[in-house]
Structure 1
Amino acid sequence: MFIGLLLKESLEDDSVLDLIRITRIETWDVDNAALFQPKIWTAIYFEGDESEIDYIVLELSQSLKPQAWYINVSTKDDAYVIFPNKVFKYTQGDKQKEKEAIEYGRSIGIPDRQLDWGE
């Protein structure tokens, strides 16, 4: 099984939500939004079957708005940081690979204060 978190506002195509099992939805009043981001976010927690993770991760990556968003997904062993049309996959705890994902996120305009996914 995999688990993940996405922000509904990050999706250009929300039909991807049909591919995952939503487990919880929260509304967040955000004080660290970038100028182009809304001040209220809809956080969607989800899960899925690990046998489908490669397909789901690709679909999530293609569904993101092109500007400065990401989705994080994890399995027992691996972390996935999903950007628009680019995915970083690394073994949980691999600080070098995590750093590469953070640097990429920064390069596409994600504020440092938002590059804080948990594994």
Structure 2
Amino acid sequence: MKLSEKIQLLRKENSYSQEELAAICNVSRQSISKWEADIALPETEKLIILSNLFKVTVDVLLKDELSINGTREVYTCGNNAIRKERAKLYEGALIKESINDETLLDYIRIHKVELWNTGGVPKYWTVIFFTSSVPNFPELASRALIADHEKGVNWFVDFKCNNTKYIVFKNKILKYTIGNEEEKAIVCNECRIQGISDNEMNWSE
């Protein structure tokens, strides 16, 4: 994995926007963008800042053969120890028109984009198929979703992580264990209270 990919992955896993990381490194947002696009390289002092911030060695950052996916450097009794831990991976589909804060897109890895014909207005929705390893992704998604109960608008996004299905509304996170029909029934009832029809609950598991 290249340095550019590692910087982007670590930034997203730690819930930093490009602007926030730029402020920490005392560079412009454009510099962070160039690092992540593999257009420019961080100076040595910036690599040290990144190393300390993300708790990985400069060696791990610079060597392509050393992966940081799920790997963190921890310090115990003065000795360096490597703990390998597979990060949670959320996967699902997000309708871009359902969010009012596009910084959410900084925290996902986009795999495919489709246009869905709505048969109404607007004519198309932009559907983004994504994964995210950001630990608090459900909370980030919940804050970004659009809800206007007076107009009968209440967007939600569904995604899964391992064996857990998430149904996320504005300021409300529902989840159930896939295969547990009792838990699913409780979540579906809450979705109906939120104004979601049974047809809209045909989400994949």
Q: What TM-score range do you get, normalising by the shorter chain?
A: 0.7 to 0.9
Q: Percent identity of the aligned residues?
A: 32
> How far apart, CA to CA, are the structure 2 residues paired with 1:114 and 1:40?
17
Deviation at 1:3, TM superposition (A): 0.7
> How far apart, CA to CA, are the structure 1 residues paired with 2:123 and 2:201?
17
Aligned with 1:41 (options 122, 125, 150)? 125
Aligned with 1:62 (options 128, 143, 165)? 143
Equivalenced residues, count: 112
- Conservation of the 8 A alpha-carbon contact between 1:3 and 1:48: yes
Alpha-carbon displacement from aligned partner over 1:10-30 (angstroms, at most 9, x marks no partner)? 112121111111111100002
Secondary structure, counterpart of 1:117 in structure 2? coil
1:28 counterpart = 2:116: yes
Q: Which has the higher helix share?
A: 2
Equivalent residues in 2 for 1:56-95, closer than 5 Å: 56-66=137-147, 67-95=153-181
Aligned with 1:6 (options 70, 91, 94)? 94
Secondary structure, counterpart of 2:191 in structure 1? helix
Deviation at 1:39, TM superposition (A): 4.0
The higher radius of gyration belongs to 2
- Conservation of the 8 A alpha-carbon contact between 2:164 and 2:178: yes
**Structure 1 stretches lacking a partner, 5+ long:** none
Secondary structure, counterpart of 2:154 in structure 1? coil
- Conservation of the 8 A alpha-carbon contact between 1:64 and 1:84: yes
CA RMSD of aligned residues (A): 1.8
- Conservation of the 8 A alpha-carbon contact between 2:167 and 2:174: yes
Q: Which has the higher strand share?
A: 1
Alpha-carbon displacement from aligned partner over 1:74-111 (angstroms, at most 9, x marks no partner)? 12211111111111122111222222222222222223
Q: Which stretches of structure 1, 4 residues or more, deviate above 6 A after TM superposition?
A: none
> How far apart, CA to CA, are the structure 2 residues paired with 1:72 and 1:109?
15
> How far apart, CA to CA, are the structure 1 residues paired with 2:129 and 2:199?
20
TM-score normalised over the length of structure 2 = 0.50
Which residue number corresponds to residue 109 of structure 1?
195
- Conservation of the 8 A alpha-carbon contact between 2:177 and 2:184: no
